[in-house]
Homo-oligomer: A and B are copies of this chain.
């Protein structure tokens, strides 16, 4: 995952891999073609026409589709084709598209006040400088600003993004195309999903971002991507740009060891226990089962991911390899870096002392819906007694809307018996921890035995009124003004636990400050070591725009098994059962059976391609990333990784790491033959079939 600015330095390697463009054109993320790649919802999207047409994943735009569904008009089930611009449907008002317009080095501003400090003070200096930069930047209006740590505490950039607020739904395939295979096929290859949706960004008649209004006009993006005339084949060059989340590729050997030998197994264990708890209580309580369905799905997904990551890191022998690599690196590292590196190692070791407790306390605060509401109210009350700029992120005035939404949502996601059972599952594990990890406030509130815990939980949940929305919202009104909260057992509990939680937060921030201060030495040693091996280092992903290049590549996941890198519509028919999630729509099945393939057939496969596989480097956040060919033309849309690649956030193993994309020929065929939208094909510059 290269920084755009690094690409000119590796121009030779890019050309050798097959790229036919000029690497210098990719160096600036605020110029074409990279400025066509934008943040959409929680993922990535790209402009594909001069009139603000946006391509992203069906799953990234799902909220927009859902928002426009109602009884009698199920756009998730049926899909949607806007017949003309007037029929394009407004997204939910909080849906945003962010176009990066500025990327400015602010390292001196961020680190100026931090230098010479340590720990929490170092952290706070960086935090205060960053907040000030953001506030200044956002004062111009219509933009979202953030400060990104680009290289382990040594390079900070201010990112300015134009915030487009009127986004509309243009074309969505039915769920049974956009999410064909759903959880069964999630992380799987071969895949047959049309996971795409077309949106359009609108602005006011003055060309500036505006709330939705009927007379808004399509946004004219600074640039847009062009559809390739042909499609990918095995071995072809491919590249991808997007906003990947967080990776940990350059962590220390000790951090790899902790991840594989403690954190992932511990997360799998405790998440499995929470899953079992929800299933056990839900087995005899249909109402609770419904209320916790979403939390259960999320826990299961998390547990599956952690298991996959663990399996992958073990398969790649990541701990042993990183340890050997680090040993060799340290042996070659100049003496002046030894002291800060040793301090970093000590810092990592130090965090391990309370890791079991910190994991459990984090889950207590996160997985119990009503207790979380009480903790949020209490924290909001505390923060709101300070000036807005000095408040903790997430509790500033700009965050009030989000907090209110969460407090309302609790209603649909809470059942007292379930919450007590979840807390018991977590707190019994806490009670079994050694003395050194105990928190007096937790012991006082929940006792030191399972019996005392059960009694405490019974009392708390019998007496609390926070299960009522009004009770939460009235306290929210008080908390955001820093006023005292009306009495309630859970509010009292939150106030009692808060000092312990703030101590943990303080320790974390102190460690983060030290980490920011010390890790540069480690990374300096690592970069030098890699350069000595003839390898360029790209910094870990940090939600800013990155570029990855590689090729269309098969996968050999097991002995004697080879997965071709391009699937076809034949596989849709093979998987079709008529039952969710393999219930391909009749118009699709008919078009396949009648071989109405038009111009979209791949001559080698004698069928219409659906998805393809590359060895491109991706992670969460790359959903919706455009995939380009050697000429920079659009050939695919990233939407998933294979199961074997779940561990790639820590280690990129070229044997197994693949990314899964929608083939643009499938999109074009659907728009041409199955759910026709000739006006959109024309806008995309694609000639319609006969």
Contact = CB atoms under 8 A, between A and B. Distances in A.
Contacts of A559: 190, 192, 567-568, 570-571, 574
A566 interface: yes
Contacts of A398: none
Interface in A561-576: 561-568, 570-571, 574
Interface in A545-582: 558-568, 570-571, 574
Nearest to A189: B560
B560 A561 contact: no
Nearest to A569: B559
A608 to B, nearest CB: 12
A568 B560 CA distance: 8
Contacts of A563: 560-562
A553 to B, nearest CB: 13
A192 B571 CA distance: 27
A190 B574 contact: no
Nearest to A567: B560
Contacts of A189: 560
B570 A566 contact: no
Contacts of A565: 560
Contacts of A190: 558-561
A566 B562 CA distance: 12
Nearest to A315: B574
Contacts of A564: 560-562
Interface in A85-138: none
A579 to B, nearest CB: 15
A568 B189 CA distance: 23
Nearest to A609: B560
13 contacts: A189-B560, A190-B558, A190-B561, A192-B559, A558-B571, A558-B574, A559-B570, A560-B563, A560-B566, A560-B567, A561-B561, A561-B562, A561-B563
Chain A interface size, as a band, is 10 to 19
Interface string A408-431: 000000000000000000000000
Contacts of A568: 559-560
Nearest to A612: B560
Contacts of A567: 559-560
A638 to B, nearest CB: 18
Given A560-B563, A561-B561, 17 more contacts: A189-B560, A190-B559, A190-B561, A558-B571, A558-B574, A559-B567, A559-B570, A559-B571, A560-B564, A560-B566, A560-B567, A560-B571, A561-B562, A561-B563, A561-B564, A562-B563, A562-B564
A83 B197 CA distance: 70
A189 B558 CA distance: 11
Among A192, A558, A568, chain B packs the most CB atoms within 10 A around the CB of: A558
Contacts of A570: 559
Nearest to A571: B559
Contacts of A560: 189-190, 563-568, 571
Contacts of A562: 561-564
Q: Which 6 A-B pairs have the closest CB atoms?
A: A559-B571, A190-B560, A560-B564, A560-B567, A562-B562, A559-B570
Interface string A180-208: 00000000011010000000000000000
Among A189, A560, A568, chain B packs the most CB atoms within 10 A around the CB of: A560
A580 B424 CA distance: 34
Nearest to A556: B564
A570 to B, nearest CB: 5
A189 B574 CA distance: 18
A324 B443 CA distance: 78
Contacts of A571: 558-560
Nearest to A558: B574
A574 B565 CA distance: 22
Among A190, A559, A563, A570, chain B packs the most CB atoms within 10 A around the CB of: A559
Interface string A489-511: 00000000000000000000000
A177 to B, nearest CB: 16
A560 B574 CA distance: 11
Contacts of A558: 190, 571, 574
A568 B561 CA distance: 11
A564 B562 CA distance: 7
A564 B561 CA distance: 6
A560 B566 CA distance: 7
Contacts of A561: 190, 561-564
Interface in A515-562: 558-562
A565 B560 CA distance: 7
A529 to B, nearest CB: 30
A564 B564 CA distance: 12
A584 to B, nearest CB: 13
Contacts of A574: 558-559
Nearest to A568: B559
A567 B567 CA distance: 24
A189 B560 CA distance: 9
A568 to B, nearest CB: 6
A357 B564 CA distance: 49
Nearest to A607: B559
A192 B566 CA distance: 28
A558 B190 CA distance: 9
A568 B558 CA distance: 10
A558 to B, nearest CB: 6
Nearest to A564: B560
A528 to B, nearest CB: 35
A565 to B, nearest CB: 8
A185 to B, nearest CB: 12
A660 to B, nearest CB: 11
A562 B562 CA distance: 5
Interface in A10-35: none
Among A190, A561, A563, A567, chain B packs the most CB atoms within 10 A around the CB of: A561
A563 B563 CA distance: 9
A380 to B, nearest CB: 49
Nearest to A559: B571
Nearest to A613: B560
A561 B191 CA distance: 11
